Every structure is written in C-alpha cells, then in structure tokens.
Amino acid sequence: MSTMKSKRRPQEGAGPIEQPPEEVVDRLAELLPEGALDDAVRGLRPEELSGPGGLLSQLAGRVVEAALEAEMTEHLGHPPGGRPQGSNVRNGTTPKTVQSDLGPVEVNTRFARFADRALCRHKRVLREGLTRGAVVSVEPTRCRAESRRLPER
C-alpha cells in the first residue's frame, strides 16, 4: 500500500477566519431581517452571487457608497439636500470601477478634490481591509490627506 501526497497547494491566507466585531454583526442584523437574505439569494446561480456585477459586488458597492456619503456628510456638516454651513458643498458624483477583496465593484465617488478614507484620489483599489470591516492605510506616502487622518496601526 502506498501513500500519496496531495498536490493541492494550501490557499494563500487560509487559516482561521477572523470574526467581525459584534457591532458589525448587530448592524447587519438590523439591515437584514431573519430570512431576508435567504429570500434574496434563492434561485440565483453562483455567478449571479459572486461574479462581476453579482449580488456580492453590488452589495459591496452600496456599502462603500454609503460609507463615502457618511464621510462627506461629516466633513461638510450637513446631510445631502441640507443647508450648507459655508461655501463647501457637494459637487455630485462620478461612476468608478474599483478593485476590492470581492473583485471589481462599481461605485459612485465624489466629483471633487475631497480625499476620502476608502479611496485615494486617482486610485482604483479600495483600502485594504475595507471589505473586512476596518480601514487601514495602505499607501500613506501616496495619499497624504488620508495618512494625516487615520491613526497609525
């Protein structure tokens, strides 16, 4: 009897999956009532779930857009359609395809000089960790505005 060694290579980064913070789990539970996710994915083919333009990438895009909008609201001091507290106003958005942990994601980004935390200006890659629940600096020398705002890790 001979023993065969598996020729399969271990997946890069394979290991225990990090559990999200409880606050993230609670927010997700508020957004998706029990059974809503089951209803949303029922009948979808695998490529409709995780392929380009699939449910996961669309959901990731909506989450990124919401984060960008919340950051802009905090920066300007008023919600969309609210009264500006000075001359700094929203200038609209422009569509952009960015790379994420889930593959390409379509998002509408600020059409302005504002440097947000998730996307550096003129970059097409989401900050590492954004889809894992934490925004960390990847290229602090290329995005000075962001490296000033985020604490060092």
d(CA 121, CA 75): 16
Residue of 36 and 140 predicted with greater confidence:
36
What does the pLDDT read at residue 101? 78
What does the pLDDT read at residue 151? 46
pLDDT in tens, 14-24: 567 788 888 88
What does the pLDDT read at residue 43? 92
Whether the model pTM is above 0.75:
no
